[in-house]
């Protein structure tokens, strides 16, 4: 037979390990025959895969023991495999919260193995504590989120009224929903925007009105990316900032590229600029904690100075 692919070899190994361990050893020929596993591939995986399985700190007593002697395969678990898994109360809560967060984004009532696992974990938590767990993936209206999930599943065009923070304007758009993502405390819709005639990402809490239409759109060949794809490279001019450690939050809130950390803890990053209004607000907010290192004409310190001057004039007036 032809050589097995990596996935096929892994699937067979996952079945072979407990079978051989439970039997206390099996003839090599029997293992290769039963699992349709080429002899050379099996020997290689026993030496270079199975023997590498273990737990930290990966000492001699922490690894699975696998060996081949006189054409017999032996696989023995170490003591950590025999011990029942124990979880501290805080670990149970973390697992339960993580599982519920996944369930929040799973369509349908039958969650399968996830549902059964959540049921078992819930039984391990006191009722008053279990009732206090509230998973919030992001800020979004439940009706809007449900409508967009349904529109995406049915491939229906949605009309939205959307406020663009970067451009400081409200627009009405027709969008073709491709995906929903929770990121950094907010929900985002990735979609093809007909007004822009291209891929866009919309923050749900900036959608003031929506209407799911009857028109269906074709299955997208390349669905729009999530938050990491906010701005396609080269679409917008970029500025390079040097940030003090106190404003590291910038790297988690805005799409960026080319992070470099200096010895003094400051960060040098590049930000794509969708509009001068957005950059003005950001520079004013950062104040002296950010220095513009490099920027196209009109987007450097002169932009911050002019914005500050306008604010002072308004308050002085």
With 0-12 CB in 10 A as exposed, 13-18 as middle and 19+ as buried, what is 223?
middle
212 versus 115: which is more confidently predicted?
A: 212
Contact 115, 108 (CB under 8 A): no
Nearest residue to 272 (alpha-carbon basis) of 185, 201, 222, 183: 201
Among residues 47, 42, 40, 41, the alpha carbon closest in space to that of 66 is found at 47
CA atoms within a 13 Å half-sphere pointing along the CA-CB vector of 165: 13
* DSSP 8-state secondary structure symbol assigned to residue 283: H
Q: Which ranges of 124-242 does DSSP label H, i.e. alpha helix?
A: 127-130, 142-154
Residue 137 lies in a domain: no
Domain extent, residue 44, equals: 6-82
Same domain, residue pair 177 and 218? yes
In tens, the pLDDT along 262-315 reads 888 888 888 777 666 667 777 777 888 888 888 777 776 776 677 566 655 554
What's the structural domain count of the chain? 4
What CATH number is associated with residue 19? 1.10.10
Residue 297 has what pLDDT? Answer: 74
Q: Is 164 a domain residue? A: yes
Mean pLDDT of 60-64: 72
- Stated length of the chain: 317
Q: pLDDT tens, 262-272?
A: 888 888 888 77
Average the pLDDT over 172-187 and give the result: 79
Residue 252's pLDDT band (cuts 50, 70, 90): low
Establish if 107 belongs to a structural domain.
yes
Backbone angles phi, psi at 150, to 5 degrees: -65, -40
pLDDT at 277: 67
Q: Flag whether 232 is in a domain.
A: no
Residues 220 and 148 in one domain: yes
Residue 90 C-alpha from the chain's centroid: 23
Domain end position, chosen among 227, 256, 291: 227
Residues 213 and 244 in one domain: no
pLDDT of residue 206: 85
Same-domain status, 182 and 218:
yes
For residues 122 and 73, membership in a common domain is answered with no
**pTM for the full model?**
0.37
Q: Check residue 234 and give its pLDDT.
A: 40
Rounded to 5°, the CA angle 146-152-157 comes to 105
| Element housing 303 (H / E) | helix 301-316
In contact, 196 and 175? CB cutoff 8 Å: no
């Amino acid at each position: 037979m032809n050589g097995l692919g990596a996935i096929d070899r892994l699937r067979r190994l996952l079945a072979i390990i407990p079978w051989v361990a439970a039997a206390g050893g099996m003839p090599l020929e029997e293992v290769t025959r039963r699992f349709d596993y080429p002899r050379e591939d099996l020997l290689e995986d026993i030496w270079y895969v199975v023997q590498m399985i273990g737990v930290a700190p990966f000492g001699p007593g922490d690894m699975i023991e696998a060996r081949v002697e006189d054409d017999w395969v032996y696989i023995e678990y170490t003591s950590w495999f025999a011990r029942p898994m124990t979880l501290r109360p805080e670990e149970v809560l973390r697992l339960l919260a993580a599982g519920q967060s996944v369930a929040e984004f799973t369509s349908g009532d039958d969650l399968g193995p996830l549902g059964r696992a959540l049921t078992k974990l819930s039984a391990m938590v006191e009722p008053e504590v279990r009732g206090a767990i509230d998973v919030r993936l992001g800020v979004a209206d439940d009706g809007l989120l449900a409508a967009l999930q349904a529109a995406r599943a049915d491939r229906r065009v949605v009309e939205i009224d959307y406020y663009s923070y970067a451009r400081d304007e409200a627009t009405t758009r027709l969008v073709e929903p491709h995906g929903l993502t929770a990121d950094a405390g907010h929900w985002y819709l990735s979609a093809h925007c007909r007004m822009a005639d291209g891929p866009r990402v919309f923050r749900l809490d900036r959608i003031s009105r929506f209407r799911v239409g009857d028109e269906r759109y074709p299955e997208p060949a390349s669905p729009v990316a999530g938050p990491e794809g906010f701005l396609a490279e080269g679409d917008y001019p970029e500025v390079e900032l040097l940030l003090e450690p106190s404003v590291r939050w910038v790297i988690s809130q805005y799409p960026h590229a080319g992070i470099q950390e200096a010895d003094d803890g400051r960060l040098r990053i590049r930000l794509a600029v969708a509009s001068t209004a957005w950059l003005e607000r950001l520079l004013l907010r950062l104040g002296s904690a950010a220095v513009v290192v490099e920027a196209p004409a009109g987007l450097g310190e002169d932009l911050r100075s002019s914005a500050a001057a306008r604010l002072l004039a308004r308050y002085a007036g």
